């Protein structure tokens, strides 16, 4: 068991109709002006934006707004948001949307309060001392950004997608009404479940030690997401299934499922970020497309965890060699991705990188990760290249 620090300061307000509390929750933050930040239109179509504005009006909170965040959120809009916050004296950001909107809000929060260029944070050239406080009305269960210390932004100059991790950006509160996720297209719901599973799997596959209670929480979370995603394929409006998955999304990425394990492999994530940076694919689908190839590449170096995963998450029968059992677990996971219509390779993801692009993806990933990556097995640039190549 490894030492750990656990910091999860976000107040969670969960359940039906909770978005009506947006105004009163913002009012407790003693702020003068709020930026309501949102995406490309779903919150207008569903009427959520109007309900949130009404709630702010009723609480006497003044606000400005900035929409237009796209999946794989762009640096150019972040810069626009920073300028707006400075001009309007914004001192709180309310993100109404998913991971892309929340991450864009976090980056704006950094840029508005630090005296260096915001991209320096994502290039690891500067550490932010400050961030504007952020609140969230969550509309998709996926990224876990509503409780995480991460923000992931894409710089259109070079199509570099880069993440940053600092506790000061963790949201002050997150309003989570599972009903709001019922308007999602099936593909986005499935991408979300994939991302949620992956946030726990990235922590679970580690060669750094283990902690029984953490593994138990992680395995239960994975089984719960699998079971309830299967329900949502048939019954997308099942409230309880939506609720299970939404809460799993937050727990999966607020660090709980890796405590004491010394894990944080995150290789599939870092490889995927290069894919969605270059090809603008949905993050969850990109993860599914890369995972099987990664798993087969590393499992022998982390055999005990892959065996445990097969037995405790997939119920694989405990007979045969450890390797055979581990491989059955990997197959079961890939079959699940097929069942929920997620891709299991790059072709199915809809991208066909050339040899030069494969080399470039690996090079960019190596630069972004300081040359090595992973905990289940440490990967270098050549390993990254082989995984991209194998996933084609
Ligand atoms: O922009 P709108 O019109 O709102 O449409 C969005 C978007 O097209 C739509 N959507 C969201 N809620 C909806 C809805 N459509 C109908 N009804 C609703 N209730 O769904 C699409 C995807 O939204 P997005 O915010 O991009 O999804 P997600 O939450 O998966 O976020 C993905 C981003 O988060 C990053 C990813 O890399 C990606 O850039 N991540 C952030 C993390 C973090 N900050 O901790 C961790 C993750 O590993 C991830 O890297
Ligand atoms: Zn993710």
DSSP 329-350: HHHHHHHHHHHTT--SSHHHHT
Confidence of residue 211 (pLDDT cuts 50, 70, 90): confident
Residue 189 has pLDDT above 90, yes or no: yes
Q: What is the pLDDT of residue 35?
A: 98
Distance 318 CA to ligand 2 centre (A): 31
Looking at residue 367, the DSSP 8-state letter turns out to be H
Confidence of residue 263 (pLDDT cuts 50, 70, 90): confident
Nearest-atom number in ligand 1 for the CA of 43 is: 4
Residue 209 has pLDDT above 90, yes or no: no
Distance 150 CA to ligand 2 centre (A): 10
The stretch 66-80 carries a mean pLDDT of 98
Looking at residue 354, the DSSP 8-state letter turns out to be -
Q: Is the CB of 140 under 6 A from ligand 1?
A: yes
Ligand 1, from 10, 77, 143, 265: best to mutate by most atoms within 8 Å of Cβ?
A: 143
d(CA 270, CA 371) in angstroms, rounded, equals: 12
- Give CA separation, 198 vs 136, 221, 345, in Å: 22, 11, 16
d(CA 106, CA 112) in angstroms, rounded, equals: 10
Q: What is the pLDDT of residue 208?
A: 85
Q: What is the pLDDT of residue 210?
A: 81
Distance 32 CA to ligand 2 centre (A): 33
Q: Is the CB of 99 under 6 A from ligand 1?
A: yes
The DSSP element (H or E) to which 45 belongs, if any, is: helix 42-45
Q: What is the pLDDT of residue 29?
A: 95
The stretch 173-197 carries a mean pLDDT of 98
Distance 57 CA to ligand 2 centre (A): 34
Confidence of residue 87 (pLDDT cuts 50, 70, 90): very high
Residue whose CA lies nearest to ligand 1 atom number 28:
99
d(CA 302, CA 339) in angstroms, rounded, equals: 26
Q: What is the pLDDT of residues 128-153, one digit of tens each?
A: 999 999 999 999 999 999 999 999 99
Distance 88 CA to ligand 2 centre (A): 33
Confidence of residue 207 (pLDDT cuts 50, 70, 90): confident
Residue 81 has pLDDT above 90, yes or no: yes
Ligand nearest to the CA of 169: 1
- CA-based R_g, the chain, Å: 20
The stretch 236-246 carries a mean pLDDT of 98
Query: Which pTM does this prediction carry?
Result: 0.98
C-alpha 68 chain-centroid distance: 19
Neighbours of ion ligand 2 (CB under 5 A): 195
Exposed e or buried b per residue across 330-347, where buried means at least 16 C-beta atoms within 10 angstroms of its C-beta: bbbbbebbeebebbbbbe
Q: E strands of the chain, at which residues?
A: 11-14, 33-38, 62-66, 92-97, 134-138, 150-155, 160-165, 173-176
The stretch 29-45 carries a mean pLDDT of 97
Helix axes 303-312, 322-339, angle to 10 degrees: 60
Looking at residue 376, the DSSP 8-state letter turns out to be S
DSSP 127-160: --S----EEEEE--SSS-TTT-SEEEEEETTTTE
The stretch 318-324 carries a mean pLDDT of 98
């Amino acid at each position: 068991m490894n030492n750990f620090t656990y910091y999860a300061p976000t107040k969670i307000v969960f359940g039906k109709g909770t978005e009506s509390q947006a105004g009163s929750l913002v009012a407790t933050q003693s702020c003068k002006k709020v930026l309501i930040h949102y995406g490309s239109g779903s919150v207008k179509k569903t009427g959520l934006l109007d309900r949130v504005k009404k709630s702010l009006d009723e609480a006497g909170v003044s606000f400005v707004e900035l929409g237009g965040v796209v999946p794989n959120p762009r640096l150019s809009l972040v810069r626009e948001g920073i300028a707006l916050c400075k001009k309007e004296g914004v001192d709180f950001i309310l993100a109404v949307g998913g991971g892309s909107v929340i991450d864009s809000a976090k980056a704006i929060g950094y840029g508005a309060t630090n005296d260096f260029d915001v991209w320096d944070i994502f290039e690891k050239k500067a550490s932010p001392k400050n961030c504007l406080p952020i609140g969230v009305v969550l509309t998709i269960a996926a990224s876990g950004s509503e409780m995480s210390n991460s923000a992931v932004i894409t710089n259109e100059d070079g199509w570099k997608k880069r993440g940053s991790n600092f506790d000061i950006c963790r949201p002050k509160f997150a309003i989570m009404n599972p009903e709001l996720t019922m308007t999602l297209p099936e593909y986005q719901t499935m991408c979300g479940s994939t991302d949620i599973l992956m946030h726990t799997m990235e922590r679970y596959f580690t060669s750094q030690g283990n902690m029984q209670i953490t593994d138990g929480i992680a395995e239960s979370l994975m089984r719960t997401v699998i079971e309830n995603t299967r329900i949502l394929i048939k019954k997308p409006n099942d409230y309880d299934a939506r609720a299970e998955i939404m809460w799993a999304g937050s727990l999966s990425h607020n660090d709980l499922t890796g405590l004491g394990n010394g894990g944080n492999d995150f290789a599939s994530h870092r490889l995927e970020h290069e894919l969605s940076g270059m090809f603008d694919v949905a993050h969850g689908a990109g993860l599914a497309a890369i995972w099987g190839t990664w798993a087969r590449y590393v499992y022998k170096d982390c055999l005990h965890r892959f065996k445990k995963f097969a037995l405790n998450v997939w119920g694989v029968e405990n007979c045969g060699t450890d390797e055979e059992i581990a491989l059955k677990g990997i197959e079961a996971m890939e079959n699940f991705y097929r069942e929920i219509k997620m891709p299991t390779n790059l072709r199915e993801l809809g991208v066909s990188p050339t040899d030069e692009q494969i080399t470039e993806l690996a090079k960019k990933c190596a630069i972004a990760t300081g040359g090595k990556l992973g905990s289940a097995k440490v990967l270098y640039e050549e390993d990254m290249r082989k995984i991209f190549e194998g996933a084609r």
